[in-house]
Amino acid sequence: MSDSATQAAIEAVARQSYGRLIAYLAARSGDVASAEDALGDAFVAALERWPMDGIPQKPEAWLLHAARNRAIDAARRRQTQQEAEPILQQAAEEAQQIAEAHTIAEAKEHFPDERLKLLFVCAHPAIDAAARTPLMLQAVLGIDAARIASAFLVSPAAMAQRLVRAKNKIRAAAIPFCVPGPPEWEERVSFVLDAIYSAYTTGWESLNDSASTHHALAGEAIAIGRTLVSLMPTEPEARGLLALMLHCEARRAARYTSEGEFIPLDQQNPALWSRPLIEEAEAHLRTAATLHRLGRYQLEAAIQSIHASRAAPDRIDWPQILLLYEGLVRFAPGIGSLVGRAVALAQSGEPEAALRALEEIPAARVSDYQPYWAARAHVLQLLGRMADARRAYTRAAGLTDDPTLRTHLFQRSAQDA
Amino acid sequence: MKYALLVHATPEYFEQRNDAAALAAGRAYGEALIAAGVFVGGAGLDGPQSTTTVTVRDGKRHVHDGPYAETKEFLAGFGIIEVPNLDAALEWAARHPLADRFSVEVRPLLGSHFSASAPKPA
């Protein structure tokens, strides 16, 4: 077999199974870093062996077996024989069972999907909130620290350090690899959802929704979102989050002209929106509704759903959107929902109330928040306060890192309402 | 923490830097820095052709036309900002209107002698 074919086969296994392999190894050792090291070594071993021996019938089992052997070696070096013996014995037996499994069903039995536990560990409240999303992206999808650092606009050295610290914490504090029970379920799920959504929105800046630019990690976030729904199909908020991301993703092709100019949501051509993604989003939202527990992500997805169902730019059901924002600010009174609510007020024919709502947000929270200034400028324009509107547009333009959005804001600034 | 944002650009930039859109973007960025309360100081710089470099070697002064070293990119401007940490500084660097075509270097300032509020060196 050629080296490139082996390489491609290894990459395919890595794409499909990386998170499952890490989760399986880490759930047993309680140590994400050593699971990554062991699996990394196993992939190196595969690159050596597979070109000679051919790709094994059960590549995951092969990798797991190899990783197990590495982990056992490493554990032997670290611990005294006596302490390590029972754990090592069990580990060796498990690896053997997986390697010997003859059918996929048998392999599944011995290779249970532990990714849900891993997701709960990555988004554990004991882990620094800023490290949760990067940790999840690295542990579940194997994305390297440098790429995560660029997406989050953090120096690669600092990001690597943040990840190491988080993994040390998991091991040192013995954060349990388990799915939390009912009393803490809702809160713990919300941490997992927030971490995934943060991966989706990283690098995005927008006027009044999260449908704008960059989308550095959008595809990865959706992949984790789909996994999460498959792992907990009866959690309505997981479906709400997935629906929200799918709705935003559906508009990707409509967001820019062929010359690369920015098009705001209400000016987009709905014919360019992806129907399959919208339908997938709607299906999740419908299923979520049957589970009878409303939440932040279902509300946000419902707002996007209304945008998606509009017939024409002037036929958006703003009063309905406003109603949903009223609910949203109760669940998640973040700055994004407060600004969104103000825009919905303005579009529902209440620009004075919209301006009051914007002015109620503490100044310190909006001093570098671009969407606030774009929204404020728009509301001032509606009120005929053109000079104030221009100043706010300039402020918004100075706060965006997206050149197409900057150009758009200057154009809006030059328009009369 | 104080950070310097050092903007490096190619010679071509200096020839076309005065178009209206670029000026407006630069002004908007400066105003946003000031309004957010992070701006300490800074300015755009004239091009390499108007640079004069001074060195003193063995007590002898040398003056020559042009920048210190011939490079592909030249310092086109600098800003000093005061923000809580490097992450915040990088965010401001990304917002610089030249960041999408050229590069913005972010460097922490050493304990500053120019600032009255800076702690005295030990």
pLDDT tens-place string over residues B8-57: 999 888 888 888 888 999 999 999 999 999 999 999 999 888 899 999 99
Subunit contact B27:A158, Cβ cutoff 8 A:
no
How many Å apart are CA A304 and CA A139, to the nearest integer? 30
pTM, to two decimals: 0.84
Place of tokens 């009223």: A326
Average pLDDT for B106-121: 67
Residue of A nearest to B26 (CA): A398
**Residue A212: per-residue pLDDT:** 40
In three state form, how does the secondary structure of A308-351 look? HCCCCHHHCCHHHHHHHHHHHHHHCCCHHHHHHHHHHHHHCCCH
Nearest CB partner across the interface for B90, out of A153, A398, A407: A153
Average pLDDT for B84-93: 93
**Residue A54: per-residue pLDDT:** 85
**Residue A68: per-residue pLDDT:** 84
pLDDT-flagged residues of chain A (< 50):
205-213, 417
Per-residue pLDDT for B85 more than 60? Answer: yes
Name the band, by pLDDT with cuts 50, 70 and 90, for residue B122. very low
Nearest CB partner across the interface for B86, out of A158, A395, A407: A158
**Which chain A residues have a beta carbon less than 8 Å from that of B39?**
none
Subunit contact B35:A397, Cβ cutoff 8 A:
no
Q: CB contact, 8 Å: A154 with chain B?
A: yes
**Residue A121: per-residue pLDDT:** 95
**Residue A210: per-residue pLDDT:** 43
**Residue A107: per-residue pLDDT:** 57
Residue of A nearest to B36 (CA): A367
Subunit contact A398:B33, Cβ cutoff 8 A:
yes
How many Å apart are CA A376 and CA A388, to the nearest integer? 9
pLDDT digits (tens, 9 = 90+) for B70-80: 788 899 999 99
Subunit contact B32:A368, Cβ cutoff 8 A:
yes
Cα B1 to Cα A137, A278, B84, B108, B111, distances in angstroms = 30, 45, 6, 7, 10
Supply the mean pLDDT for chain B.
88
Subunit contact B90:A407, Cβ cutoff 8 A:
no
**Residue B30: per-residue pLDDT:** 96
For this complex, say whether ipTM is above 0.85.
no
